[in-house]
């Protein structure tokens, strides 16, 4: 019979560590399972204003390397004060919230895009943007 300090031969500290790992925050399934190929197709809607080439700003800033970048810092683009002062970093979660409704996420933003309502479409678009490094 195992002692109170073990369970099936495993030491209690190991079980505690495994339980702690199980409680870690896991990204939303849609975020983790975005399809970059589908996202590239969706990007066609964005391409009128945004480029994916480094340093090529249009009506909107280049989105090359946007995932992980601080908001409002792409060189050569005149951002709205609201976006420059937002303090955001474009993590997948922040991009998801912004793409759902830009004006709600950052009141005063100049982007005319009204939002992408589908969580799947947003996940796919973010997966594509994440490939642009």
pLDDT in tens, 110-128: 999 999 999 999 999 999 9
Counting DSSP H helices and E strands in the chain, the numbers are 7, 2
The CATH number for 77's domain is 1.10.760.10
| In-domain check, residue 44 | yes
Q: How long a stretch of residues is the chain?
A: 133
| In-domain check, residue 119 | yes
| In-domain check, residue 30 | no
Number of structural domains, the chain?
1
Q: How confident is the model at residue 29 (pLDDT cuts 50, 70, 90)?
A: very low
33: CB partners within 8 A, 6+ apart? 123
| In-domain check, residue 1 | no
| In-domain check, residue 5 | no
Is it the case that residue 1 has pLDDT exceeding 80?
no
Q: Which of 67, 17, 21, 46 is nearest to 114 (CA)?
A: 46
Predicted structure pTM score:
0.75
Report the alpha-carbon angle 112-116-121, nearest 5: 145
Q: Tell me the residue range of the domain where 82 lies.
A: 35-130
């Amino acid at each position: 019979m195992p002692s109170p300090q073990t369970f099936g031969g495993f030491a209690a500290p190991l079980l505690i560590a495994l339980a702690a790992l199980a409680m870690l925050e896991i990204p939303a399934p849609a975020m983790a399972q975005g399809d970059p190929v589908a996202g590239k197709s969706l990007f066609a809607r964005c391409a009128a204003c945004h480029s994916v080439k480094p340093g090529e700003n249009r009506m909107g800033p280049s989105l090359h390397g946007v995932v992980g970048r601080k908001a409002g810092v792409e060189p050569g683009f005149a951002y709205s004060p609201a976006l420059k002062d937002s303090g955001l970093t474009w993590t997948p979660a922040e991009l998801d919230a912004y793409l759902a409704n830009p004006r709600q996420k950052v009141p005063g933003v100049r982007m005319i895009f009204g939002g992408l309502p589908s969580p799947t479409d947003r996940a796919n678009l973010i997966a594509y943007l994440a490939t642009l490094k």
